[in-house]
Structure 1
Amino acid sequence: MNASFTALRQAFASARHERKARHRDIASALSISEGELLAAHVGAFDDGESPLRARRLRAEWQDLIAAIEPLGPVMALTRNESCVHEKVGVYADASAQGPQRLVGLVLAGAIDLRIFYSHWRHGFAVAEALSDGAIQRSLQFFDAAGHAIHKIFLKPESDQAAYEALVERFLSAEQQPGLETADAWREPAEPADDTVDVAAFRSEWASLRDTHDFFGLLKRHQLSRTQALRLADPRFAQPLATSSAQELLSRAAQEGVSIMVFVGNPGMIQIHSGPVHKVAMMGPWINVLDPGFNLHLREDHIASAWLVRKPTVDGLVCSLELFDAQGRTIAMMFGERKPGQAERCDWRNLLESLVEGAPEAVPC
């Protein structure tokens, strides 16, 4: 077994040195999860085997996230198969709510997170020697299958001493290499369309008063999100071209429209609020490359795009929602707003203009 861990570490070192490959891609090439790749780097081994070291953390996730703030500015990274969301800021005002504190929030400042701790299984403090001699330190969290949920990377201005104190506080007594994995969580199968009470579903959608009630609506009718959009009243959901994301981001940058970008996986949703400035295509990737916010979205993974309208006490709230071929959410985009505020006119006009044959502007 130790020999296999040695082989994984050496394969990692070779891929990082020769191809500058990313952790995720190295793990995939080795037919293991990213969490398993890191876990192979736990414990003692010769320095020449790999530039990376990992220390296993105790599964006290809520308290750990609440203790991040003293580190100061860090980079938060959340991704799914098709989109990477990177945001720089301070983890302020963290809280955990509900039965067993399984729903977490980080709400103050640039770091805006919705956390679902029931999916969190493994965590590591990671230190990697980079080619320029610098040490990149991070905290990385994974689900039962070893798939990445969330990562926190230190910046040059981060408090290194506070990081080490946090790691020592949450360090697990178990520091042997290896990771026991389980099957990844899957969305429940959606019912056949002809078994859904479409009239009742549409009536309840029309009666929504808060965007957060939409999840409950789906749960009551046992619908997947894409199935709900297919069955919705057309005034509330319209299909758009899969190129809509690139057009929307580019025009938002050109026109100075402040937006919200939600990217997540089963264990985390990470949100950017504010303008975007530099939007660039690189191969299949749509990129936002701004100080403090980077987005990398695989346009070729977008199988469907929808304009979605939800009634609220503040009026209609409209979004662009992107899905892959399996119906999984890639990203959602809204106009920047706070509860109690009506939707921005510039956002709504931008979004509505993506509809084929739409007028130049719509009333708001």
Structure 2
Amino acid sequence: MITAQSLKERWATFLEENPKTRIRDAAKQLGVSEADLLATQLGETVQRLEGDFRELLKEVPTLAYVMALTRNDNIVHERKGVYENVSFNDQTGLVLGPDIDLRLFMSRWHFGFAVDENGRKSLQFFDQDGLAVHKIYLTDQSDETAYEALVQKYLAADQTEAIVTVPYPEKEAESANETVDVQAFQDAWLAMQDTHEFFGLLRKYKLDREEGIRLAPAGYSEQISVNQLKKVFELVAERELPIMIFASSPGCIQIHTGTVKKLVSMGPWYNVLDPAFNMHLREDQINSIWVTRKPTKDGIVTGLDLFDKKGNSIALIFGKRKPGVPEMQQWRDVIADVISA
């Protein structure tokens, strides 16, 4: 059994030998969760939070200009701005600002911590298995006094109690649904009036997302390569075309809407390094990329779906649009130019 003290000692040794390794990667190499690793610093650089995290999030706008971070194994999505219009309907929530744009699933927010990494202060939230769902970092434009007040308000009374993470059962690989009525599924695809109806179609026909995309009607989905994806980024940067990039953890979907400018490859990571938005995409873990075309009452909506080797969604990318407004022709032109090149 791993005790908090023995884990703390193992992590200290690991950091000496691997000073640049991120905590998420360190946790994997040590065979524990990120939250378990963070909790070894309770009473030092980490404070545990408690209470209703929905109420805490409603007060995050007082922190002013911050950086929101949501990630999965293969993409890190960092967006700076102010949390605005925070609202909840039971366990689902929204943050609807022009900069910070989130969909929140609070049943997956189990642990919260205030963290001080050599003066870099943040609020960090984790699922019951210790996987990070969302992090909020202060910037030099944040209200640090408001941060300290928020931490004190939600500070757990007992800072010595060990956290207990509970792993979720290993997700079994789903076999292809061989009984699906492909024609009925394709007819339903063509009858969609809203892109959100796609989730219902997948449930109805018992398909995972990539299976559904593979079974799309002719002309409504096609695969592209990683190099073609990078060309999409290059063209939207060159043409100053605003796009939408969705990245999700189990408890949060984070959306960047705007342009991308500085594109940099570093090892296996493909990056956007702009002042208000950073994206770090693990290109070597991308197994497939699909261009999808979904009918809506506003016309066809064209998107890019990125999947890893396990069939998990990495990210979704669209041209900037809002319901009720047709998709930008310039976005369709970018996709067409990349495919035809």
| TM-score of the alignment, normalized to the shorter chain, above 0.5 | yes
Name the residue aligned to 2:211.
227
**Matched-pair identity in %:** 44
1:92–1:107 Cα contact (<8 Å) kept: yes
2:58 counterpart (55, 66, 69): 66
Structure 1 residue 90, shift from structure 2 partner: 0.5
- In structure 2, list runs of 5 or more residues that go unmatched: none
Give the distance between the partners of 2:271 and 2:15, measured in 1 at CA.
Answer: 28
2:226 match: secondary structure: coil
Name the residue aligned to 2:29.
29
Distance 1:6 1:284, change over 3 A: closer
Name the residue aligned to 2:115.
126
Does residue 14 in structure 1 map to residue 3 in structure 2?
A: no
Name the residue aligned to 1:241.
225
2:91 counterpart (102, 120, 125): 102
1:270 match: secondary structure: strand
Tell me the matched-pair count: 339
Give the distance between the partners of 1:185 and 1:239, measured in 2 at CA.
Answer: 31
Question: Over residues 83-131 of structure 1, what are the superposed CA-to-partner deviations in whole Å (9 max), with x where a residue is unaligned?
Answer: 100000001101111xxx11111012200001111222111111122xx
- In structure 1, list runs of 5 or more residues that go unmatched: 44-51, 130-134
Give the distance between the partners of 1:198 and 1:14, measured in 2 at CA.
Answer: 56
Structure 1 residue 57, shift from structure 2 partner: 1.2
Give the distance between the partners of 1:150 and 1:23, measured in 2 at CA.
Answer: 14
2:176–2:211 Cα contact (<8 Å) kept: no
Name the TM-score, length of structure 2 as normaliser: 0.94
1:117 counterpart (97, 106, 110): 106
2:76 counterpart (66, 72, 84): 84
Name the TM-score, length of structure 1 as normaliser: 0.88
Deviation larger for 29-38 or 325-334 = 29-38
4+ residue runs of structure 1 moved beyond 4 angstroms?
185-189
Give the distance between the partners of 1:211 and 1:121, measured in 2 at CA.
Answer: 30
Superposed CA RMSD in Å reads 1.9
Map 1:34-53 → 2, pairs under 5 A:
34-43=34-43, 53=45
Give the distance between the partners of 2:128 and 2:101, measured in 1 at CA.
Answer: 24
Name the residue aligned to 1:317.
301
Structure 1 residue 222, shift from structure 2 partner: 1.9
Give the distance between the partners of 2:193 and 2:267, measured in 1 at CA.
Answer: 41
Structure 1 residue 349, shift from structure 2 partner: 0.9
